[in-house]
Amino acid sequence: MKNIYLGGIAAVALSIGAVAYANQPVLSPRSDTYQQLELFGDVLAIVQQDYVVKVDSKKLINAALQGMLASLDPHSNYLSGEDYSDLKEKTKGKYGGIGLEVTSEDGAVKVVSPIDDTPAQKAGMQTGDYITAIDGTSILGIPLNDAVNKMKGDPDTKLTITVVRSGKPEPFDVTLTREIITVKSVKYHMEGDDGYIRIASFSENTAAETKAALADLMAKNPKMKGLVLDLRNNPGGLLEQSVGVADLFLNGGEVVSQRGRNPDDIIRYQAHANGDMLKGKPMVVLVNPGTASAAEIVSGALQDQHRAAIVGLTTFGKGSVQSVIDLGDNRAVKLTTARYYTPSGRSIQKTGIEPDLEVAQTKEQAKYIASSAMQYTEAAYANALDADEGKVRRSPHAVQEVPPDNFDTKTGDFELTRALDVLADNGDVKLAAAHPRGVKMADSELVDQPGARFKKMLNDAKAKASAPAAAAAGTSSSAASSSSAVKK
């Protein structure tokens, strides 16, 4: 069985992106393929017989499968029992852990986004943080799933993670208490005369929850003038749920198309006629670099159909679809099988959705956008798929608006403030842009010193972690290499 998945960022447990589930394919055997499999068997036999300590064949084969799929792109993977269970739990919106979406970069665990109302979010964890140790033990270089498992545990138990953060001179420890993580996909309230809906991820009931939230807002506030849909730091989720959410605001037309390797392999998802629950009221979608995959589908559909203005920062840029192919015995393959395209036919793979009004939440975030060394997006992956049209992500630049000095970023939400300004102008984003509240930072304020210092800190942390192993090896390495035997 195969499920469709639009996501691809690992999580604690795993991540969600855009997912679908599919049937196992019929394989076409080729002689050269079987010759390579024989070679694999020969190498496996040599390792089993001659490696310095006894090895677990099952672990070796699992690692080989994971390595094969991971070499394709950052989002393809082999899911053994626990990993597959984690993925299924996550798409249901409930799992155990501390509430972080994470990925792996250069052997370190990198935070994609903290999940709303979880221990990690309450402790102030931020997108772009690196986790280098758990309970005093380095996790540099270990498989991502192993690091994730170390962060999971029984509710009410504590763990301490060591964090490297841009702008901080030294690594620091954060102590968290594990709990059952129930992801609240949808939250909502009124902002003056305008409604506000926050979608944290696209799990099994997100479309229905969004519909209920919107209906409740409109029933209790019949004079509601417009709506802000907040998709910031939304890592994605189930494809059909993103289509269902976009459908709530559209009167027909295409939401997204999915195109595979075969040019004729195109699936188009359409909105229902007369489906716009807002009846044309102005709408703004808030996005940032943590807005990924399924969340980008919603943003792109509403932007291309001229239904909503996009405010914030360019999104993550994950424009691929993963199919989860069930292999039985609680094992599966998560494989990239298609790219997705917005209604106008553009792929956002690597490039992301660019906002109509570019606004940074803080000056520090603006520096992040201005520095290539600090960018964390799909384009940062060495083996990411290219955009189908050969487009590239916008280069580092000065953000259009940042909060003025008299705006309190600790208590206020500048991006939301500007979104409400757009609604006050009846959705006219050009009019709002012509009357900025914020400022554009001078080039002198955008020097990439934080990025350089951050890279040095990470390299120092890696060197420190590897020092004990190097010391233990001492000068024996050259002697060992010179005495290596050749097996024939």
Give the residue numbers annotated as catalytic, written as ranges: 293, 304, 318
- Measure the CA–CA gap between 92 and 396, rounded to whole angstroms: 37
- Decide: 302 and 285 in contact? Cβ < 8 Å: yes
The encoded tokens of residue 7 equal 């996501």
- Measure the CA–CA gap between 362 and 127, rounded to whole angstroms: 14
Buried b / exposed e across 233-263, counting CB within 10 Å, b at 16+?
A: bbbbbbbbbbbbbbbbbbeebbbbbbbeeee
- Decide: 132 and 465 in contact? Cβ < 8 Å: yes
